[in-house]
Chain A
Amino acid sequence: MARAPRRPAAPPPAPFLDLDAVLADRETEIVICCGSGGVGKTTTSAALALRAAEAGRRVVVLTIDPARRLAQSLGLGELDNTPRPVLGIDTTAGGSLDAMMLDMKRTFDDVVVAHSTPERAREILGNPFYQALSSSFSGTQEYMAMEKLGQLHGQPGQAGGSAAGRDRWDLIVVDTPPARSALDFLDAPEHLSRLLDGRFLRLLLAPARGPLRLMSVGFTLVSSAMDKVLGSQIIRDLQTFVAGFEALFGGFRARAASTYALLSSRHTTFVVVATPQRDALREAAYFVDRLTEERMPLSGLVVNRVHTSSLAVSAERALALAEDLPEEAALEGEALRRHADLMRTVEAEATLLDRFSGSRPQVARTLVETLPTDVTDLETLRQVGALLAQQD
């Protein structure tokens, strides 16, 4: 059975990620939880927010599409794109907790309304391109999460943001959208700037403005190709949309740039969330490498749903014992077989985690063992918070 050769000496254990210290540091104003889908990002964000609030921080947690029961446990039965106080938390340390769920279309609409004349806003909100962009296309969520983060942090010039944001909260915990890749969230501002600065958009705008200053061989080719591919009606709608939106673009770009600067500053820290599985750890590795490359502030890695056993009996030994049991000890046999499966899982996870830490020894981490129940109330969230903060 023992087909795995003896492992070389295990790498030195990863440094411990002390999340209590991260949350207690008043310089930390934004914590961003990222990672691939299904690793418990929303739960981790909520548990960190709750723990920080009960330690005295004034916290708002921005969550995107949480499981409904978790939303209920936070008192978020009614969600309307506005932070709502979470009841039932311990406020003796002077902290508070608000929570909100991002409504991407509403956030987009608010930006349009706040930055245009009422007439312009009506025109944009009614444009079919705007409607498709703001509601049914994926990718908009990342832009809007950024926009909302900027608002909550109270950057000057934000729609709905102001000094009020800073007074109300001193810590924002962000649960990133369930994106194609965790990196999409980071790329959103860059994409937006490229979109706004792109020659393509200027090209689209040009015909709507009369004299074709851009006229050239390339331009004629492009516009006739676009006519051919898209048809003239779609181009007209697109031009109207782009023209109507142009006034908003500058503001978008400025805010995206300042949000990105904020993300790179010492006031922000990223927490990468994973489970001890190949896919999740690979995605986490991409993210860690990217943050390191761009010198963005990384706290470390949270590994959720780690299996453990307090019974130091190997899988092989347990199976051998199960075979030798008398017939009537059926339950013992089944328990031993299940223990063997558990030990195999424990070993497989340990190997994957060792590999991660071996290749990225500087990344601090904390392990959260797998819970027997779902996280659906404040009490269980508190337990998760305690496990997050506990040295393994």
Chain B
Amino acid sequence: MSRASRAGLASTGAAPAPPRHGLHIVSGKGGTGKTTIAAALACALAVQGRRVLLCEVEGRGGIAELFGVAALTGDEERRLTRTPAGGHVHGLSIDAEDALLEYLDTFYHLGLAGRALDRFGAIDFATSIAPGLRDVLLTGKVYEAVRRGPTGRPGAYDAVVLDAPPTGRISQFLNVHAAVSGLARVGPIRNQADSIMEMLRSATTVVHLVTLLEDMPVTETEEAVQALAPTRIEVGSVVENMVIPNPLELDALERAAAGAVELAVPGWSPAQNRALSAELAVDAARTLAQQERHLRLTGLGLPLAAVPLDPAGIDEAALFTIAAQLRDQLALEAA
């Protein structure tokens, strides 16, 4: 892999250089907030007039909801927001059926025959019934969007961010073209699968894994890193999401967690003070556990970024805040 050498190429031009990676794939265990992080990452990359595409593939409409806009439908790549840093984020909800028809039309000019395939149930078969073909089509569409950039085709983006399936399915999802390559030894499908795999393994592509500092998500993150290793797709960073901020020293935390702290808020009853002390004890224990999990993640040898918990919930303004946090902590090819 010659990632480092290729990475340097882009940074010489006068106009804002394109990001080092053209495709950012965001995964994480369910419930870790990967859609939020994917959206924030797209905002972080969208600086100085850059155009960034944020894609979802699970048909949940999570992106539109996050940005508070109407649902993304069909193949529209609608502008979602202009970032404070002066870039644009567009959104696309990839649908397997549209992707297949578009693929057939672009590569084979199958006008009439494409419709015939549809009549015979082939489109339905391919997109919803045949297990796994969905994944081929979805990654194929992402491939097409990424390739517009370097080839200067209309609608080119400086970067594409993919809100990908959860870690449990991520290596399967990304390696699905390898499975196709195994089936189709020659022919156009084989060529397409090979090109997609090549792009995923190239310096263009990077995976970000989102986790909470809890036992199961951290374990899944470690497993995902292992599972992705044989695919030769680069894991670029791990994002620790919803971290409880902690200004306390280790010593104070340990005493609090052990229940050895008796708080005395002026004017409060002993019962109230006991209740507050108990809450602090639980919180301190959780914070200590978080620190232990943070250490485990350090063992992966990957860049880590921490995003603090926002008890007020996530809206567009919160996304920009998280974007700034990601930019500061990850050497994001943003500025």
B116's contact among A218, A233, A275, A313, by CB below 8 Å, is which?
Answer: A218
Tell me whether A342 is interfacial, beta carbon within 8 Å: yes
Whether A336 contacts B120 in the complex (CB less than 8 A), given A136-B175, A178-B166, comes out as no
Closest to B247 in A: A334
Closest Cβ–Cβ distance, residue A307 to chain B (whole Å): 10
Interface contact A234-B29, CB-CB below 8 Å: no
Closest to A43 in B: B216
A12-20, A65-73, A251-259 - interface stretch:
A65-73
B3-11, B142-150, B273-281 - interface stretch:
B273-281
Contacts of B95 in A (CB 8 A): none
Closest Cβ–Cβ distance, residue A387 to chain B (whole Å): 16
B123-131, B200-208, B320-328 - interface stretch:
B123-131
Closest Cβ–Cβ distance, residue B257 to chain A (whole Å): 10
Interface contact B128-A311, CB-CB below 8 Å: no
Interface contact A237-B183, CB-CB below 8 Å: yes
Contacts of B132 in A (CB 8 A): 132-133, 136-140
Within 8 A of A (CB), among B283-312: 283, 285-286, 309, 311-312
* CA–CA, A253 and B100, complex, Å: 27
Contacts of B270 in A (CB 8 A): none
Closest Cβ–Cβ distance, residue B217 to chain A (whole Å): 8
Count of chain B residues with Cβ under 8 Å from any Cβ of A? 82
Within 8 A of A (CB), among B171-187: 172-173, 175-176, 179-180, 182-187
A137's contact among B29, B32, B176, by CB below 8 Å, is which?
Answer: B176
Closest to A39 in B: B31
Whether A230 contacts B108 in the complex (CB less than 8 A), given A37-B30, A139-B131, A200-B125, comes out as no
Tell me whether B114 is interfacial, beta carbon within 8 Å: yes
Contacts of A67 in B (CB 8 A): 215-216, 219
A117-125, A149-157, A220-228 - interface stretch:
A220-228
Tell me whether A5 is interfacial, beta carbon within 8 Å: no
A26-34, A51-59, A190-198, A261-269 - interface stretch:
A190-198
Closest to A132 in B: B179
Interface contact B117-A198, CB-CB below 8 Å: no
Interface contact B276-A335, CB-CB below 8 Å: yes
Whether A331 contacts B279 in the complex (CB less than 8 A), given A137-B176, A279-B62, A348-B311, comes out as no
Contacts of B112 in A (CB 8 A): 221
Contacts of B58 in A (CB 8 A): 180-181
B130, B131, B252: residue with the most chain A Cβ atoms closer than 10 Å = B131
Interface contact A280-B31, CB-CB below 8 Å: yes
Contacts of B175 in A (CB 8 A): 136
Interface contact B182-A128, CB-CB below 8 Å: yes
Interface contact B282-A372, CB-CB below 8 Å: yes
Tell me whether A321 is interfacial, beta carbon within 8 Å: yes
Closest to B184 in A: A234
* CA–CA, A171 and B76, complex, Å: 48
Tell me whether A158 is interfacial, beta carbon within 8 Å: no
A191's contact among B110, B129, B169, by CB below 8 Å, is which?
Answer: B129
Report which A residues bind B (CB closer than 8 A): 36-39, 65, 67-69, 128-129, 131-133, 136-140, 143, 178, 180-181, 191, 194-195, 198-201, 203, 218-219, 221-222, 224-226, 228-234, 237, 275, 277-280, 283, 309-311, 313, 321, 325, 329, 331-332, 334-336, 338-339, 341-342, 344-345, 348, 372, 374
11 contacts between A and B (CB under 8 A): A37-B30, A137-B179, A138-B172, A139-B132, A139-B134, A195-B129, A225-B104, A225-B116, A226-B122, A230-B188, A339-B279
